[in-house]
Structure 1
Amino acid sequence: MKKLKISVLPKLNFPEFSFRFKNSENKVSIFDCIRKKFMILQPEEWVRQHCVHYLIDVKKYPISLINVEKELTINTLKKRYDIVVFNPDGSIHIIVECKAPKITINQQTFDQIARYNTALNATYLMVTNGLNHYYCQMDFKNERYQFLKDIPEYRG
């Protein structure tokens, strides 16, 4: 396989990960180990794949507990979350919202993930554009979230 030029994508604020790429009809794709298929390499997908590898390689979450880009319904509206990490009992541990690197993370981004969480009830939230990462732990009793330095490692 010849070397693909991926230089158009920015270096992200994640560790270096090894990715599989392919070029088809002048479109570069990146392999998604969760969906087990190649996805067109868009800026948001670049961030999503880094985040998936961060969860697996750094935070040690099993692939079997991670789900990517699934539909959910919130107040009759169909939405898609980026990444969800489940607990072994099937409840949701983490929701991750990924944005393209050029998208600034702001209150709107947090409002979006908070809306998703009304349906999903995750303990932790992560918002990233690949350059800046924000982590929160939900406090359901007081209906707020507390910012953290990072999300916890998998503890089985």
Structure 2
Amino acid sequence: MFLFGITGYSGSGKTTLNEKVVECLRSLGYSVSCVKDAHHQVDLDTPGKDTYRYRVSGAEQVILRTPDRWALMEETPEGRKPLGDILRAMKPVDFVLLEGFKDDGDFPRIEVSRGPHKEAPLWTKRGDIVAVASDTPEGIPPGMPWLNLNEPRQVADFIVSLRDSWMKEKDNVKE
């Protein structure tokens, strides 16, 4: 599994880009999974429904199974589940696209940027930003690859190329 992050400030277009990149990678024959890191509370369950009632009664894990999919909900009173634990629970795929994760994780990422922000660009704070996807290359430092936010195939090709380079490097490491 090759982990790759799509990060940026709220409203920058991360989810839209991620969705289109998934479609591009799938059209190229790759298997893809996604993990979204939400910075606020989200409840995927519906109050009053059976699975909700199981959770509030104290069940540590609740699985909902339908003919088309299944979902596992797990309470984490100790705080966010570590990304490594989540990844170990996932089935192997070619790419895992991680959305968000501005403040943690050790993997290459693209910063999605649309318009001016009050805060400094993430590439000024993190050393693992390998490219910036935006509407225009304006303001991107020399040497930092610019990807057109409106060309998801370009972004997908960049991710595949980075993965291929990483795998070649990994194969050349002698133990």
* Greater fraction strand: 1
Choose 1 or 2 for highest CA Rg: 2
* Greater fraction helix: 2
TM range (shorter): under 0.3
Structure scoring higher RCO (CA < 8 A, sep ≥ 6) equals: 2
Q: With the length of structure 2 as denominator, give the TM-score of the two structures.
A: 0.26
